[in-house]
Amino acid sequence: MNYVVRQSPRRKHDLHLMAANMDQAILITTIVQPDLKPGFIDRFLVMTERDEIPVTIVFNKADVYDEADMERFEEMKNIYGSIGYGILLSSVPQKLGLEELKSILKDKTTLVSGQSGVGKSTLINAIQPQLALRTGEISDYSGKGQHTTTFAEMFDLDFGGYIIDTPGIKTLGFNDKDKANIAHSFREFFALSHNCRFGGACLHRDEPGCAVHEALRNGEVSELRFSNYLTLLDEVEDQNYWERRKEF
């Protein structure tokens, strides 16, 4: 039996709508084809962290990674693996990671998400060929996916569980205007914030006695995560600024 998940094609991708229905999310990404957008993983994790949704990050299309791409993958694996996210390297033509993916999905309801063209529908077909989901090549011209899947749909898995294929994420903006929520969504920063002088109120920017800064200096916090975090904070601040101005 197939179900249509509450999500209209026109509505912006909204994890919240579906959060109640799922046990976990799988974020499919690629190092190349299409290129991994800087900060994209962190934006996604801010959303899932808020709802305490466990996430596995899949790096798909390993068959097309060159040496530098593999190094990039290893770097990502270290950063996100060390803070507790599941990491999986996969390739559909090489059948790499497919059995592991099945065991992650078994008996759970899983949302599969990611940018267009990363291979969400292809991966689902690889583990459940009878679904025969429509897939589409990435564009030669832009190197991006072509938004082949147009609405979210949930399917039975014959080995137990449900899977929700979703359209490629176009943009991940924030409705969240609360900077402290963003800070708390970076789980390793949140864990450290108990040692910040201002505790949970510390935004880990210019505050004195900040444990995140200390950890950054010691190499215990990733510079990539920290710089992506600052970008998000700035974005929220800009947003709030324009909204305040609208009131006059």
Ligand X SMILES: Nc1nc2c(ncn2[C@@H]2O[C@H](COP(=O)(O)OP(=O)(O)OP(=O)(O)O)[C@@H](O)[C@H]2O)c(=O)[nH]1
In the complex, which residues of this chain contact Zn ion (CB under 5 A)?
Answer: 196, 202, 204, 210, 212
| Partner whose binding site includes residue 202, from Zn ion, Mg ion, ligand X, none (CB under 5 to 8 Å by kind) | Zn ion
Residue 209 CB, shortest distance to Zn ion, in Å, is 8
The answer to whether 121 contacts ligand X (rule: CB under 6 A) is yes
Cα–Cα distance measured from residue 76 to residue 61, given in angstroms and rounded to the nearest whole number: 15
| Secondary structure (DSSP) of 205-243 | SS-TT-HHHHHHHTT-S-HHHHHHHHHHHHHHHHHHHHH
* Contact status: 34 vs ligand X (CB under 6 A): no
Q: How far is the CB of 52 from ligand X (least distance, A)?
A: 25
Q: Find the angle CA(217)-CA(221)-CA(226) to the nearest 5 degrees.
A: 95
CB 141 within 8 A of CB 108: no
Q: Which of 121, 125, 193, 222 binds Mg ion (CB under 5 A)?
A: 121
CA 45 to chain centre: 5
Name which of 157 and 210 has its Cβ closer to Mg ion.
157
Write down the least CB distance from residue 174 to Zn ion, Å: 21
Output the smallest distance, CB 98 to ligand X, in A. 10
Residues 131-170 that bind ligand X (CB under 6 A): 135-138, 145-149, 167-168
Note whether 56 and 27 are within 8 A (CB). yes
CA-wise closest residue to 41 among 96, 103, 95, 86: 86
* Cα separations in angstroms, 212 against 102, 123, 177, 232: 36, 37, 22, 16
Of Zn ion, Mg ion, ligand X, none, which one sits near residue 30, judging by CB under 5 to 8 A according to partner kind? none
Q: Rounded to the nearest whole angstrom, what is the least distance from the CB of residue 214 to Zn ion in the complex?
A: 9
By CB neighbour count within 10 A (0-12 exposed, 13-18 middle, 19+ buried), where does 204 fall?
A: buried
Q: Tell me the site size for ligand X, rule CB under 6 A.
A: 26
Of residues 79 and 112, the one with the C-beta less far from ligand X: 112
- C-beta closer to ligand X: residue 117 or 161: 117
Interface with Mg ion (CB under 5 A): 120-121, 148-149
Interface with ligand X (CB under 6 A): 60-61, 63-64, 91-93, 114, 116-122, 135-138, 145-149, 167-168
